[in-house]
Structure 1
């Protein structure tokens, strides 16, 4: 199991108006859901954890992954995995190229890296699709490749910014099950922001409501 995530006195404000004020521990494999309407500031929390919060916001507080203070590190050293509404696959790379790009550079050896990429594809039920052009994939397949890619990057924590919202109902249920089961399997603490009650229900963890 991995380490948990701790949000310690995290506050985010814009123009003096408080958007987020939270202290919470997220256990390995657990999903903390942040719910609120569009524009309530849900995604700003993910941006703060990831280290890419716009400077127009005033933010304070600590984010720790195990013993590591993420807020003291630049974004590239935080090792935070993020899934957005769109899969954001690189169009000029094959599926395998997208996955190989995510594997930490410390892991050397072309054949070993390729083995990991194939294994990751099999793990999201896309065996044998390494040579495919991302443009030829369905929306559900792209979402699975995006998940495989983020898991290959060896993240400390997983941030989900409404990643199921553009999928149809059946695919949404499949992707929820897949994402949450992979997080549990790997002991990854997860922060999910959504305005969909069904997402929160599927996540099965604590829910914090903001903005109304």
Structure 2
């Protein structure tokens, strides 16, 4: 690891829907960071700032040591998977995935091979000619994951992409993500995952950040944060009891 954070929010401030959001947070290169907190805490806004869909009123968003605060979303070295999977219904699976590396859909023979390999990696070999409307929610999210990994960016943002799936399927999708990420062992992809499911964080995250009212109130190792013993505000959110000192 280089020692340079994969993503940094440096005194980032944003007035949004009546809230004064203030973010200071470093995402370590190669780590899996889970972001938790109540609805309206600013979790998706944090990802929007990282991806460039929102611009801070002040402060800097730094990715891999480069100031990206005013850089357009398409030029940032990251991929993002949304809850709605963001697939184009008029395109088949092959073309939806190919958009990750060829926005004009002009794919070379090598590109075609990479797309097919990405589909095979997520268990969708044979689905290349299918349309999203003919697929289940879990299958559509696999397509979105295939596209994200095909882009091969060092930073992956997950905005609750598996929230609508049942527990078993959600667990399977996260396990698949873990496997795909492990295949990049020489330079593990950094992951920032917004989730309402603490169990998902416990299973996969290296660290957890807790947000409320647009502020990062606590961040630390997953077990320590999810124990609820480090901060009473986290304990209240989790519904756990803080032990007396």
The structural deviation recorded for 1:111 is 1.7
Instruction: Pick closer, same or farther for the CA change 1:116–1:14 going to 2, 3 Å.
Output: same
Q: Note the aligned Cα RMSD (angstroms).
A: 2.5
Matched, 1:25 2:23: no
Unaligned runs of 5+ in 1: none
Q: TM-score, normalised by structure 1?
A: 0.86
CA–CA distance in structure 2, aligned partners of residues 174 and 9 of structure 1: 36
Look up the SS of the partner of 2:12 in the other structure.
strand
Aligned to 2:92: 94
CA–CA distance in structure 2, aligned partners of residues 122 and 19 of structure 1: 41
Task: Name the stretch that deviates more: 175-184 or 93-102.
Answer: 175-184
Task: Name the stretch that deviates more: 177-186 or 99-108.
Answer: 99-108
The structural deviation recorded for 1:96 is 0.4
Larger relative contact order (CA 8 Å, sep ≥ 6): 1
Matched, 1:112 2:110: yes
CA–CA distance in structure 1, aligned partners of residues 33 and 53 of structure 2: 20
Instruction: Pick closer, same or farther for the CA change 1:107–1:87 going to 2, 3 Å.
Output: closer
Instruction: Pick closer, same or farther for the CA change 1:155–1:175 going to 2, 3 Å.
Output: same
Instruction: Pick closer, same or farther for the CA change 1:111–1:139 going to 2, 3 Å.
Output: same
CA–CA distance in structure 2, aligned partners of residues 22 and 185 of structure 1: 31
User: Are the aligned partners of 2:51 and 2:78 in contact in 1 as well (CA < 8 Å)?
Assistant: yes
CA–CA distance in structure 1, aligned partners of residues 49 and 62 of structure 2: 12
Unaligned runs of 5+ in 2: 213-232, 234-245
Aligned to 1:9: 11
User: Are the aligned partners of 1:79 and 1:154 in contact in 2 as well (CA < 8 Å)?
Assistant: no
Task: Name the stretch that deviates more: 7-16 or 143-152.
Answer: 7-16
CA–CA distance in structure 2, aligned partners of residues 185 and 10 of structure 1: 33
CA–CA distance in structure 2, aligned partners of residues 179 and 87 of structure 1: 15
Task: Name the stretch that deviates more: 2-11 or 142-151.
Answer: 2-11
